[in-house]
Amino acid sequence: MNFHKNIFYGWYVAFAAFLLGSLSYGFGVVSFGVFLGAMTTSLGWSSGLLSGIYVAGRLLGLLVNPIVGFTLDKHGPKKIIFLGVALVFLGSIFIFYTTNFWFFFIIYSLFISVGFICLGHTVSDSTVSKWFITKRNRAMAISTMGLSFGGIIIPIPVSLVIEQYGWQSGWLVVGVSVLILGSFAGFIMYKDPESIGLLPDGKNANSLKNTQDNTDISEEINFSLTDSAKHRAFWYISIGTTLAGTAINGVNIHLISYLYHFGLTLSQSAILLSSLYFISTIAKPMWAVINEKLPTRYCLSLCYLGGGIGLLLLLIANTVAGIILFAFVYGLTRGAQSFMSALIWPDYFGREHIGSIRGTVTSMGIIASAGGPLLAGVLFDVFGSYNIPFLVFVIFFFISSFFIFIAKKPTI
C-alpha cells in the first residue's frame, strides 16, 4: 500500500470520519426534523407519534452500540461501515414505497437507525482517536466538523426535494447519497496506524529510538472498560454527556418545527438551521486552539453552559433578530460540544479500548438522549408549545456543565 510521503495517513482517516459525520448527523438526525413537518402534514401522523419512531430507532442502540464498539476494537471499522451503508440504502428504498405507519416504523428502526449507528460517532470518533495522541485535538476538530458541515449542506437540498417531489423522494436522496459517499469513506478507514505499519501522529519508528518524541506513546495510559468504570470521572462524564445529549437531540429534531410555528417557512427554517451549523463549523478550529491552553473538561463545561444560554435566548426571542442571536450563541458553543465530548474519553482513558468504552457509554445514554425528542414531541402535543420542553433542556445543559467541570482526569 502506497501513501503520500508528506501526509500522515491518519489525516485521510480524519477526512473519512468527517464524511461519515456529515452523513450520519446530516441525514440521520437533522434531516429527520425536516421530514417531521412534511410527513405529519402529508400523512396526518402526530408529532409525538413520529418522534416515537425516532426514539424507537435510538433505543435499538442499547443493543447495537456495545456490539459496534467491541467489534471496532477487534476488527476495525470497514465491515461496520459497509453494513451501515447497505442498511440505510435498502431502508430508504423500502420507505419510498410505503405510507403505512407500522411498515415505516419497522423499516426506520431496523434499517435506517441501525445503519446510521454503524456510520456514527462510535465508529468515526473512536477510529480517529486511535490514530492520534499529541495531535488528537486537531484531528478530532477536523473530523467532527463533519457534523456541522452535514447540518449546513444537507437540510436545504432535502427540504427542496421534499417541497418539489414529496417526502418519499427525499428518503431516496438519503439512501443514494449514503451509498456513494459512505462507501467511499469505508474504503479509506483503517483500524489504527499500527495495523498498517505506522505510528500515532505520524511519528517515525527509527527517530523514536534516539529522541524524546516517544514519550506520548510509551507513557500512554490505557484503561479497560472495567477499570474506567472504577473512576468517578467516568460517571461524571457519562451523566454530563447524557443529559446534554438529551437536550441536543431534542433541539435537533424539533428546532425546524419550532421555527415553523414561529412563522418561518420550511425553507427559511432550513436556511437558518444551516447558518447555525455554519457557525458551529468555523467554531471547531477555534475551540481546538483554546483546548491547547485550557483542559478539555473546562472547554466542554463552557460549551454546555453556552448551549443553555443560547437556548434561553431562543425562548425569549420575539423577532427574527432574536432568533439569529440564538443561532450565533448556540452555534458558537454547539460546534465544540460534539468535538470536546468525543475528545474527553480518549484523553482520560486512552485509545486502546476506546471503541468498547464509547460503545458502552453511548448505549448508556441512549435512553435519555432518545427521550429528548419524545419529551418535546409529547409536551408539544399536550401544550401546543415548545416552551416547556426547551426550558427543561436549558436546565439539562446547566447540570451537564457542572458535572463535566468536576470530572478530574484519573490517574493510575
* Predicted confidence (pLDDT) per residue in 274-298, tens digit: 788 788 888 888 888 898 889 999 9
Q: DSSP for 71-82, please give it.
A: HHHHH-SHHHHH
* Predicted confidence band of residue 304 (pLDDT cuts 50, 70, 90): very high
Q: CA–CA separation, 152 vs 172, rounded Å?
A: 20
Task: Specify the pLDDT at position 206.
Answer: 55
User: Which range, of 28-32, 92-96, 323-327, averages the lowest pLDDT?
Assistant: 28-32
**Residue 254 above 90 pLDDT?**
no
Q: What is the mean pLDDT of residues 100-105?
A: 89
Residue-wise pLDDT tens digits, 73-90: 889 999 999 999 999 999
Contact assessment for residue 279 and residue 335, using Cβ atoms and an 8 Å cutoff:
yes
Q: What is the pLDDT of residue 345?
A: 93
The burial of 41, by beta-carbon neighbours within 10 Å (0-12 exposed, 13-18 middle, 19 or more buried), is given as exposed
Separation of alpha carbons 189 and 77, rounded Å: 7
Asked if residues 91 and 116 have their Cβ atoms less than 8 Å apart, the reply is: no
Q: Domain 9-203+223-405: which CATH class?
A: mainly alpha
pLDDT exceeds cutoff 60 at 3: no
| Whether the predicted pLDDT of 215 surpasses 50 | no
User: pLDDT averaged over the chain?
Assistant: 87
**Per-residue pLDDT reduced to its tens digit, 326-374:** 999 998 888 778 789 888 999 999 888 898 998 888 877 776 667 788 8
- Among 64-68, 365-369, 375-379, name the one with the lowest average pLDDT: 365-369
Q: Which of 341, 6, 342 is closest to 202 using CA atoms?
A: 6
Beta-carbon count within 10 A of 329 CB? 20
Q: 2 pLDDT exceeds 60?
A: no
Give the C-alpha distances (Å, rounded to integers) separating 297 from 5, 100, 124: 35, 46, 21
Lowest mean pLDDT among 2-11, 34-43, 125-134: 2-11
**Three cell numbers written together for 337:** 460540544
* pLDDT > 90 in the chain, percent: 45
Asked whether residue 58 carries a pLDDT value surpassing 80, the answer given is no
What mean pLDDT comes out for the span 151-173?
89
**CA angle, corner 247, sides to 242 and 249, nearest 5?**
90
Q: Fill in the DSSP letter of residue 108.
A: I
In this predicted structure, the answer to whether residue 8 has a pLDDT above a threshold of 60 is: yes
CB count in 10 Å sphere of residue 394: 18
Give the pLDDT confidence score for residue 62 in this predicted structure.
82
Of residues 96 and 217, more confidence is placed in 96
Q: In the structure, what pLDDT confidence band is assigned to residue 94 with cuts at 50, 70 and 90?
A: very high
Task: Select the more confidently predicted residue: 395 or 221.
Answer: 395
Burial track 169-203 (b if 16+ CB lie within 10 A, e otherwise)? ebbbbbbebbbebbeebbebbbbbbeeeebbbbbb
pLDDT at 218: 54
Q: Count the neighbouring beta carbons within 10 Å of the beta carbon of residue 83.
A: 17
Q: What is the pLDDT of residue 303?
A: 94
Q: Is pTM, for the whole model, over 0.95?
A: no
- Residue 216 has what pLDDT? 54
What does the pLDDT read at residue 112?
96
Question: Is the pLDDT confidence value at 170 over 90?
Answer: yes
pLDDT, residue 5, reads 62
C-alpha 51/C-alpha 39 separation (Å) is 11
Q: Half-sphere exposure of residue 410, counting CA atoms within 13 Å on the CB side?
A: 23
Residue tagged 518524541 (cell numbers): 213
Question: Domain segments of the chain: what residues?
Answer: 9-203+223-405
Residue 326: name the closest of 376, 279, 386 by CA: 279
Instruction: Give the C-alpha separation, 345 to 297, whole Å.
Output: 10
Check: CB of residue 353 under 8 Å from CB of residue 136. no
pLDDT at 79: 95
